[in-house]
Chains A and B, each alone.
Chain A
């Protein structure tokens, strides 16, 4: 779901729209109102399956979710309209909400920063190799092809009390507690596992982008006496910045939704140390059956994703370099 960037397409299409609207209006024959053109009929037939699916499994649920968030439906009772009560309760009454929000943002910020830093480092490292690039790409891509739950249960075993992680910590004399039993360290364990499981996407994507950087740019820089560090910051990073931007937006969107790792490893615990929005929505909806309240939480998540995406698009002018 991550290797395409719809964003660059949008301004183009808006132009197309206005152009085609202007161009087509005077040419439109009057009869076409009564009988659809054959091409339009074909298009409607071709679009029918996807349109039906879109309406039933996407548009309808989105509207239903919005509607539900204004009710107090608990699955057994009949739902009644409560206005903004769920949202008001979230921000003023529910003591857990700010913990959940803080956990979600903490996870997203640390995970995003580590993911981009680690994947860029690995991608630059791999692209500097003359041979064996394919092998390393496959190795770092492997966890992303593994069911997250399978990855999570393996790490659960690693972090089990007196398990491998504890043995390593003891052998190195680090004096750290068991990660999953400790409120401060549990989130770090979740971040580590999520990073391991997903960093491959960005490694492969950055690697592909780096390989497209024209060789003569780097050769010219070498002749001018630029060292490897300068070459990276001044030439390669600006040239791959559109890809880095796309990866950052997609990674941020997915990180706000983290669920599988938390469900499998901590169920939000210890206490509520790893309870994030994604987990809270599931818990409120499918454990406590507070469908209205959970839907309001889901809309909070959607607004966060929207806000973050808009913020990133706003900031891209400062650092993303388009070569045109």
Chain B
């Protein structure tokens, strides 16, 4: 009741008090979320902070938040003494390889599902979609047997091909293509363009936001991937970065500072992509969650 009265008199004392209260509330809100965010970022700080110490200092018993002596050379040493360079290269090759195949294959199949009429289309799409629920570990054993039978253990194609055919991409792009007006295809068809030409010159440029999102998610998923590289490789020759981190964790006299340097390197692409693509991710997710009902 009183608030109704005071809101009509903006210069009254209690209106000023309310404004002050609201400002304090806003300040507390920002202070609180900043504190949570700092706690959230702390493991990253700890990672870098321990990457630039000597291994003896990492293990020293009164824990120090900041290093006593900064050894920025650890990053260089990690590359020299452990094959982090190889791990990095393998990670890049596998993640880029999978992403390229997923995007190319999904564009073709998504276009077929969205625009072409053929018998059994809906049934096939449903079959594709139902595989989204299959747990990865269930496929891992037979895939390992298949890949080892083919002699593909410790090869790039053995690491790339078995994980490059997810129905997720087909579904994501199909949903997006359904939203592109059909008139554009038809106009191109009048001009005598083939279906492939329509896909490449009309649909792909328009579907770039969805293709970007698919590339981003595929690249990150592969960059993070651990179980399949663990099984499809043996030893350090074809190990990816996540694998490399654990390979050296089990050795006698773990070099924690090198592992932390490696972990830091392994998250660089993620940080860059998360910042650069923040808007795309956010838009893509709001589009995606729209499928969830509203």
Which residues on A are within 8 Å of B, measured CB to CB?
A: 1, 3-6, 8-10, 13, 16-17, 20, 37, 39-40, 42-44, 46-47, 49-51, 53-54, 56-58, 60-62, 64-65, 68, 122, 125-126, 128-130, 132, 134, 136-143, 145-151, 153-158, 162-164, 167, 196, 204-205, 207-209, 211-212, 239, 241-243, 245-246, 253, 256-257, 259-260, 263-264, 277-278, 281-282, 285-286, 291, 294-295, 298-299, 301-302, 305-306, 309, 320, 322-323
Contacts and interface: CB of A to CB of B under 8 A. Distances in A.
A302 B135 contact: yes
A217 B292 CA distance: 20
B52 to A, nearest CB: 14
Given A17-B122, A54-B128, A57-B162, A9 B142 contact: no
B246 A243 contact: no
Contacts of A49: 104-105, 108-109
A148 B63 CA distance: 25
Interface stretch (B13-21, B36-44, B68-76): B36-44
A188 to B, nearest CB: 16
Contact of A305 (B111, B133, B172, B226): B133
B89 interface: no
Interface string B216-252: 0100110110110011000000000111011001000
A311 B70 CA distance: 54
Contact of A146 (B118, B141, B266): B266
A77 B121 CA distance: 43
Contact of B289 (A5, A16, A306): A5
Interface stretch (B77-85, B180-188, B267-275): B267-275
Nearest to B91: A147
A148 B242 contact: yes
23 contacts: A6-B171, A8-B293, A40-B117, A50-B106, A50-B165, A53-B161, A53-B164, A68-B142, A122-B36, A125-B32, A142-B270, A142-B271, A149-B242, A156-B249, A196-B40, A205-B288, A205-B289, A208-B286, A242-B294, A253-B135, A281-B137, A282-B137, A295-B142
A138 B263 CA distance: 19
A305 B135 contact: yes
B177 interface: no
Contacts of A305: 133, 135
A309 B249 CA distance: 37
B57 to A, nearest CB: 13
A149 B285 contact: no
A149 B46 contact: no
B96 interface: no
Nearest to A166: B63
For the complex, would chain B's binding face be called helix, strand, loop or mixed by DSSP majority?
helix
Contacts of A51: 109
Interface in B86-105: 104-105
Interface residues of B, number: 108
B104, B123, B223, B291: which has the most chain A beta carbons within 10 Å? Answer: B291
A13 B281 contact: no
Interface in B132-178: 132-146, 161-168, 170-172, 175
B63 A147 contact: no
Contacts of B292: 5, 8, 242-243, 245-246
A61 B291 contact: no
Given A43-B116, A149-B242, A157-B50, 15 more contacts: A4-B168, A43-B118, A46-B195, A47-B112, A50-B167, A150-B241, A150-B266, A163-B63, A164-B46, A208-B282, A277-B137, A282-B137, A291-B145, A301-B135, A306-B133
A50 B293 CA distance: 28
A86 B129 CA distance: 29
For the complex, would chain A's binding face be called helix, strand, loop or mixed by DSSP majority?
helix
A15 to B, nearest CB: 10
A156 B271 CA distance: 21
A266 to B, nearest CB: 12
Nearest to A125: B33
Given A136-B37, A146-B270, A302-B135, A8 B291 contact: yes
A151 B241 CA distance: 12
Contact of A153 (B112, B259, B293): B259
B293 A322 contact: yes
A39, A61, A145, A291: which has the most chain B beta carbons within 10 Å? Answer: A145
B289 A3 contact: yes
Nearest to A40: B118
B125 interface: yes
A111 B255 CA distance: 32
Contacts of A64: 142, 145-146
Nearest 3 CB-CB pairings of A with B: A242-B293, A53-B165, A145-B270
B224 A153 contact: no
B211 interface: no
Contacts of A143: 40, 43
Contacts of A10: 126, 129
A62 B138 contact: yes
